[in-house]
Structure 1
């Protein structure tokens, strides 16, 4: 029986893609002159180096943080190459601003996809029942997520990134099928991949609804109701990596 190819993944960046295998990370970006610039380096996940982190769910949580770190680095480099920034000219102020932007984006995401659904669900009658509460909050979260993804596709720059996103999926399908990594092999493949980040987000939203529904039922039974939507967010926030890990296990 033929050996199964290693699992590969990646993400779209500005004018290119980043691809990651179990042993290496590579980013290819088209510069303003049309030349494809490549940056590659060895990479071994912590889950391969630390035995405890190989456990189900934990490996998914670690993988998520690694993917975010690698992805942000690839995105930053692609911005330099694609002409968004002057390569090599980023000082500590630029890095501080980038970190602040990431923190603000994270806070905005928590506000939109956690605090808002909880606040709205709390206004609906009969949501003292945690099953009803999370059906309302979870349904609203999924609607917000789908609406957000639909809205950003209206931006021209985002549509360009999504084209590379589809190309990444086609390349992965060709690789997993044992086909040559050439345009003629990749183009006929589907641009929708089951391990896509979009699938991950939607699955995580569903698992969040189910998992926190069970958790909150126990909490309310033993400790009483939550004081506010913010209180509920603060209780749930540390558990999000476990939800991400569970979503990873379902998709892998």
Structure 2
């Protein structure tokens, strides 16, 4: 596979993070208009340990690593826009720093990740399976049908969530940088000179976007959860949490297989995820494309 086709990243606050051959690069547009770049040489966990690089396992490990990197880069970008009054540590921050000293920030990041995971599981797994249970009133007892209903409810909640957060001004800006990331990656993959004008010509909908991954997770989960039947509410919650690594791991493998082909079936499977990007991306301006290009060049070791 062409190494250009492995470049990817995410939008951050007034910036873009890119992962490339030289590591992880985050470019942020500061309030004074200048662009600051941070580059970290990293090796994915899946390449550090052979076991973590095995099929299925590597998918879940990559998901966790992406969450860690995502929170780190978001915190980094946010640090440039903190108001002076916000710089005073909260009581929680003071307690953590007192207990864990230099490791305080790592602990806070870990807590943030756990809270995010709990929120996601509650909204996208616990709520749908609880809601689907209501349909048993209509004498629906087939576990496959009930799991299908649960999956549809999960998709609806996901869509509603994206629509609502997309109305927030800050999130709308984030989605513009998300679009800039996709256009820049497309430009690079097509061997075009990395300029805002060239990048602007490409689509903001990219098949390797995390939105596609999230959509496929929901589809794969319907099939896997159907294998567990439809027992008690507690049993369903436990099995869904326990099977989450398997679901994410299988979805990762599906996406890797799909990435090697562009036939009609693959295009059909990726189409819903591409359409979802209408909710998670916005058309960027030239200044935002410039930031994304700066991040990609730094990540790939290209002079910028």
Which interval holds the TM-score relative to the shorter structure?
0.7 to 0.9
Query: Aligned-residue CA RMSD in angstroms?
Result: 2.5
Question: Which segments of 5 or more consecutive residues in structure 2 lack a partner in the other structure?
Answer: 98-103, 257-304
Q: Distance in 1 between matches of 2:244 and 2:252?
A: 12
Is 1:153 the counterpart of 2:153? The answer is no
**Whole-angstrom CA distance in 2 between matches of 1:107 and 1:88:** 24
The yes-or-no answer on 1:142 pairing with 2:148 is no
Alpha-carbon distance in 2 for matches of 1:155, 1:12:
15
Following the alignment from structure 2 to structure 1, what is the Cα–Cα distance between the partners of residues 6 and 222? 29
- 1:1-252 alignment to 2 at 5 Å? 5-21=4-20, 23-83=22-82, 86=87, 92=96, 95=105, 99-125=110-136, 126-214=139-227, 216-217=228-229, 226-228=231-233, 230-252=234-256
For 1:86 and 1:162, how far apart are their aligned partners in 2?
A: 26
Deviation (angstroms), 1:33: 0.9
The C-alpha deviation readout for 1:191-213, integer Å capped at 9, x for no partner, is 01111111111111111111111
Instruction: Return the alpha-carbon distance in structure 2 between the equivalents of residues 155 and 242 of structure 1.
Output: 33
How has the CA–CA distance of structure 1 residues 4 and 110 changed in structure 2, closer, same or farther, with 3 Å as cutoff?
closer
**Residues in 1 aligned to 2:8 and 2:189: alpha-carbon distance in whole angstroms:** 11
* Greater fraction of residues in helix: 2
**Aligned-partner Cα distance in 2 for 1:184–1:146:** 32
CA distance in 1, matches of 2:88, 2:21: 28
Aligned in 2, Cα 1:106/1:51: closer, same or farther, shift over 3 Å?
A: closer
Of the two structures, which has the highest relative contact order with CA contacts closer than 8 Å and spacing of 6 or more? 2
Deviation, structure 1 residue 251: 2.1
Q: Distance in 1 between matches of 2:36 and 2:88?
A: 13
1:29–1:82 Cα contact (<8 Å) kept: no
* Structure 1 residue 74, shift from structure 2 partner: 0.3
After superposition, the C-alpha distances for 1:49-101 in whole angstroms (9 at most, x for unaligned) are: 22222222221111111111111100000000233665999764584665544
Instruction: Out of 237-246 and 85-94, give the one that drifted further.
Output: 85-94
Distance in 1 (CA, whole Å) between partners of 2:109 and 2:52 is: 29
CA contact (8 A) 1:48 1:54 kept: yes
3-state SS of paired residue (1:165): helix
Calculate the TM-score normalised by the size of structure 1: 0.87
Seen in structure 2, the aligned counterparts of structure 1 residues 112 and 127 have a Cα distance that, compared at 3 Å, is: farther
Gap runs ≥5 in structure 1:
218-224
Secondary structure class of the residue paired with 1:68 = helix
**Distance in 2 between the 1:10 and 1:191 partners?**
13
**Structure 1: distance between partners of 2:82 and 2:32:** 10
**Cα distance in structure 1, aligned partners of 2:2 and 2:21:** 15
